[in-house]
Structure 1
């Protein structure tokens, strides 16, 4: 099929289909015909929202109660996630007790206590908790309840001390967990958390180790 033009037009009477199509494509490819076309980003966003809409329609069709049922399910899931986050805190940034309790500049228990009290006076509860935990472990080493060992973690110190101080085993584990939470878990301590460690430090000073428990634990 060929296009017919009036005899008085100063162009060929017949144009083959192929060249005619190519001429039309060249004409339509000119920028003036595409000034209002959506950008690549706009087209990508349209595709994305179409995809999300398709998923939502599929899920609402499968959920009891349709769209309303799906909304209820989503709200319940979000509420559960929020409750778990509030109860357990933010996820740990590193495994608990993955780093040594002390750095390469050892200090005495009294020095750690002084540092802890200084942080507490300034309201820096995270640092106060960390220093008080270090004071507890250093004091146990100074009393030979624990053997001085480089690289010991708070969890390891609590587990080892619990063998000779079984009456305070729960408090020791809780103190190590508090130290891990503020050091690795991104949680924020408060005055009560610091006071618990301070009370534990005082209780440990007044408690005599049960060496028989350590012997039975080592041979058991």
Structure 2
């Protein structure tokens, strides 16, 4: 819902003040192109010398137009945000770090004890990926993403393919702030790591 209330019967001064306040918002100041020109034109209708006689019908119409412009701005801003969010998922899991799987596990457990569940979840997944690299089930590739790691590990552990897929998804959601991370998330991630560590991988043809 938009936090915008339209007066039922605004006078010209009220409508002018309302538009001026809206135009002062940083979202409008940062948006270039057709939308600001429309807003300036509407504002000029109220800031003129009184040559334009606006009745209630016109005020209502202009108020509705302002609402439509606000919605348009929201859509314009939301597009880049959605694209940025999709782009974030390309970030690597391990990067250039050289910690061993056991070191990642210890870091994850320490974070869980301090109730930093987000860090615990991320480090537990890193431990899982590093463990697979140490066992030569995955090649050591610093740029590998969570989704790639899960996808590449699935043929080795087909019975755990859904769990691997979920683990990669949870890593991304926690890493990019879409999910806070919980003790349960960490425990499931650590349990999957332990299960895979004890299980014989499938032999690839």
TM-score normalised to structure 1 length: 0.57
Query: Hey, what's the Cα distance between the residues in 1 that align with 2:62 and 2:101?
Result: 59
The yes-or-no answer on 1:136 pairing with 2:128 is yes
Within-5 A mapping of 1:61-80: none
Report the secondary structure of 1:136's partner residue.
helix
| Deviation for aligned residue 1:152 | 0.7
Deviation at residue 135 of structure 1 after TM alignment: 0.1
Note the C-alpha offset of 1:42.
1.8
Secondary structure, counterpart of 1:103 in structure 2: coil
Pairs aligned (count): 144
* Cα distance in 2 between the residues matched to 1:166 and 1:173: 11
Alpha-carbon contact 1:165-1:209 (below 8 Å) kept:
yes
**TM-score normalized with structure 2 length:** 0.61
Give me the whole-angstrom Cα distance separating, in 2, the residues matched to 1:43 and 1:126.
43
Distance 1:136 1:45, change over 3 A: same
CA apart distance, 1:45: 5.5
Alignment correspondent of 2:112: 120
Q: Which runs of 5+ in 1 are unaligned?
A: 1-36, 56-90, 216-220
Q: 2: distance between equivalents of 1:40 and 1:158?
A: 56
Larger CA Rg, structure 1 vs 2: 1
1:172-214 Cα distance to aligned partner (Å, 9 max, x none):
1110000010112531111111111011011101111111xx3
Give runs of aligned pairs for residues 30-179 of structure 1, distance below 5 A. Answer: 38=13, 41-42=16-17, 44=19, 50-51=60-61, 53-54=63-64, 93-95=85-87, 97-179=89-171
Q: Within 2, Cα distance between the matches of 1:124 and 1:184?
A: 15
Instruction: Look up the match of 2:199.
Output: 207
Poorly superposed stretches of 4+, deviation over 2 Å: 37-41, 43-55, 91-97
